Amino acid sequence: MELYNLKDRARFQERGPYNDLIHDMYTFRMIVFNFEPGQELPVHHHPADSEVALLVLEGEGFFTGGKEDLPARPGSLLICKVEEPHGIRANTRMRVLVTIAPPI
Amino acid sequence: MELYNLKDRARFQERGPYNDLIHDMYTFRMIVFNFEPGQELPVHHHPADSEVALLVLEGEGFFTGGKEDLPARPGSLLICKVEEPHGIRANTRMRVLVTIAPPI
């Protein structure tokens, strides 16, 4: 049983998103991506039979990779297969909890 | 690719927590538990080799089931094995995103 306080872990860097690994087990992986304005997770996909959930914790931007960009605000949750193209673009400082299961 | 807005889905009921199933696949299950003040998810456990993550979206309360109750506020994330006793008690209206992987 482990307790994390995600609000205390905000950290950003100029050279790209700061990826904060929270949990990495055979069950699932959780990472918080911390974006400065304008930073992004480029659209990508993986050839694996897993799914990914992207939950916006703070800030605003867009989910990318679909037919059109989708607005991403606190409480926005995107779920897709990891083999589907997906990405994130931050308009403000933005923090996104990424869950991947099973981990790839 | 599915987009959910968790802020728009808040719903509560007097007879017990309102459990809002978001996603249910072989990869993971996500449910938002919506508590009125004083409502709880009783301490329980399951004999399965999965893990569960409890992320507080809104409101305040406690994570129960451990040696001592742990404070639960927005951004608090508890991760444990489903075979470990775990529960939630709400002090205010409270919304908690529960992720279980693999689903049981």
pLDDT value, residue B28: 98
Nearest residue on chain B to A10, alpha-carbon basis:
B75
Contact state of A7 with B97 under an 8 Å Cβ cutoff: no
What is the C-alpha separation between A29 and A100, in angstroms, rounded?
5
Amino acid B36: pLDDT:
98
Give φ, ψ of B9 to 5 degrees.
-100, 5
pLDDT band at B65 (very low <50, low <70, confident <90, very high): very high
CB of B19 within 8 Å of a chain A CB? The answer is: no
Nearest Cα to B45, choosing from B99, B86, B101, B97?
Answer: B86
Q: Which string of b and e fits B64-73 if b means at least 16 CB within 10 Å?
A: bbbeeeeebe
Interface contact B53, partner A, CB < 8 A: yes
CA dist B94 and B71 (Å) reads 13
Q: In what order do the strands lie in the sheet with A70-72?
A: A40-44, A86-90, A61-64, A70-72
Q: Answer whether 0.95 is exceeded by the pTM.
A: yes
B46-63 pLDDT per residue, tens: 999 999 999 999 999 999
Average pLDDT over residues B78-104: 98
pLDDT in tens, B16-39: 999 999 999 999 999 999 999 999
d(CA B96, CA B31): 8
Q: Which residues of B1-12 are buried (b: 16+ CB within 10 A; e: fewer)?
A: eeebebeeeeee
Q: Which of A22, A30, A78 sits opposite B3 (nearest CB)?
A: A78
